[in-house]
Amino acid sequence: MFVKTAFAAALLQTTSIALAQSFTPLVSKSFTYTNLPYQADPDVGERGVQTGYNICNSTTEGQDSLCQTAIINSVDDFCLWGSPEPNGLIGNVEGEVVAWCTKPGRGTRVIPAGAITGLTFVKTPDYVQVTGLIHQTYLDIEVWDAGGELDPHGSDQRGNPLGGLLFTNAFASSNGNPNTYVQAVEWHSFMGGDTFCLKACDPSGPNAARYCDHVYDRLGCYYNAPASYAEGVFESCLGDSQDFPGVYTGANGVVSTYTQLPESLGPITYLPYAPKPPATSQCSQFTSSDLFSGAPAPTPTA
């Protein structure tokens, strides 16, 4: 019995080591939009398996879709991460969130009419970003949830959501072809408090990982993706790139980097700087009906 038990333990250890050695972080995986695997994350870890899928088409589209491939192209063509089930808390479902998009045809859920109440899309030299205000219950997020960060990292490097991918045709490498999608390997998003932000950093730039940093998960949209977040404003702009998240210039002109306090020390009650939205230009203004006239009727969950 001891020999069999010892052999089984050794086999399990060997298998675990082999799996660990073969593991590839999500940000180290490269995909083509037209040739995606069914699931970008084939691994089985402490958080289990990827619950959704990355091949999304007409057979997966609908308000129960589990598509985990998102898009960010323009002011009227982007996706946000929402709960797969009604009244979801982002902290509880971060590994399972699914794509909710502004347009049908992506194989995803479609953001209901009236959900987004303010929106700014901005294209900068280093990233594209969408920020704004939203009735988060329309994306099945619990009404009082303050939310949290979603990104392609996570503590286990499998991403939140597990296997979640983001593509865009807005980068220069698409050469203006709307059908040429580039994987935004580095991105970050916050959902909660009826506020949203999603930033996709250009992989051809030297600072993609810094503009889409993922270490300020307690600071939310306003500090990670500073913008106006204005109710009733729907606009698309060009813009300067922001300061790297956490980097700020004090009144004395000294550039400093903020270190986020761990949750074990309690709530963050003081920050040494205020968020500074970067300058924008060439803004085009819209109304909600201009952008989302074909959206389905809402079915609020709270």
CA distance 164 to 209: 17
pLDDT of residue 218: 95
Q: Which helix (H) or strand (E) holds 49?
A: none
Q: Give the C-alpha separation, 99 to 139, whole Å.
A: 10
| Inside any domain, residue 268 | yes
Q: How far is CA 184 from CA 164, 166, 167, 285, in A?
A: 11, 6, 5, 26
Residue 302 lies in a domain: no
Structural domain including 128 reads 25-292
Q: Are 110 and 67 in contact (CB under 8 A)?
A: no
Residue 9 lies in a domain: no
Please give the helix or strand (H or E) that residue 24 lies within, else none. Answer: none
Q: Which helix (H) or strand (E) holds 128?
A: strand 127-134
Question: What is the rounded CA–CA span in Å between residue 141 and residue 146?
Answer: 10
First to last CA, the chain: 57
- Specify if 15 maps to a domain: no
pLDDT averaged over 10-residue windows placed end to end, the chain, 302 residues? 46 44 91 97 95 98 98 98 98 98 97 97 99 98 98 96 98 83 98 99 97 96 98 98 97 95 93 96 96 80 47
DSSP assignment letter at 15: H
| Residue 147 within any structural domain of the chain | yes
CA distance 283 to 302: 35
* Cα–Cα distance for residue pair 66/43, rounded to 1 Å: 18
> Is there a domain that residue 154 lies in?
yes
Query: Distance between CA atoms of 114 and 12, rounded to whole angstroms?
Result: 52
The reported pLDDT for the residue numbered 240 is 98
Q: Are 125 and 241 in contact (CB under 8 A)?
A: yes
Q: How many domains does the chain have?
A: 1
The single residue listed with the structure tokens 């490498």 is 173
Q: Name the pTM for this structure.
A: 0.91
DSSP E strand boundaries for 139-184: 148-150, 165-168, 182-183
Q: Rounded to an integer, what distance in angstroms lies between the CA atom of residue 133 and that of residue 118?
A: 5
Whether 119 is in a domain gets the answer yes
Q: Is 18 within a domain?
A: no
Residue 293 tokens read as 């006239």
